[in-house]
Amino acid sequence: GNSVTQMEGPVTLSEEAFLTINCTYTATGYPSLFWYVQYPGEGLQLLLKATKADDKGSNKGFEATYRKETTSFHLEKGSVQVSDSAVYFCALSAGAGSYQLTFGKGTKLSVIP
């Protein structure tokens, strides 16, 4: 079956540091890949997505590249801010039009001034 593995948290960084959150997946076929973000007390929000190999999703300074050869979709940001403190979830779906989202366990990021 499909599964998503992301790095254990929590992650604590100083403001303006570089962020990487690792995500690898197992899936049959050609899944779509996502990063969702959950701010304290809120629901999940779609941060970025990629639907085919070598696609790069980007939003709000965050980026992730769909690497089929390494089955990875690592999240990166060059300079984090305190406002980026949240829980980040990597997720996949079996493909365009699929209803099923399989989520990783989430990685909590804390950014300190």
Binding mask 38-67 for other proteins (x = CB under 8 A): ---xxxxxx--x------------------
Among 104, 107, 109, 111, binds other proteins (CB under 8 A): 104
Regarding 3 and contact with other proteins (CB under 8 A), the answer is no
Regarding 111 and contact with other proteins (CB under 8 A), the answer is no
Q: Cβ contacts of residue 93 below 8 Å, gap of 6+?
A: 31, 32, 34, 99, 100, 101, 102
Regarding 98 and contact with other proteins (CB under 8 A), the answer is yes
Q: Cβ contacts of residue 60 below 8 Å, gap of 6+?
A: 47
Question: How many amino acids of this chain bind other proteins (CB under 8 A)?
Answer: 22
Between CA 21 and CA 9 the distance in angstroms is: 9
Phi, psi of 83 (to 5 degrees): -70, -10
**Interface residues with other proteins (CB under 8 A)?**
32, 34, 36, 41-46, 49, 89, 93, 96-101, 103-106
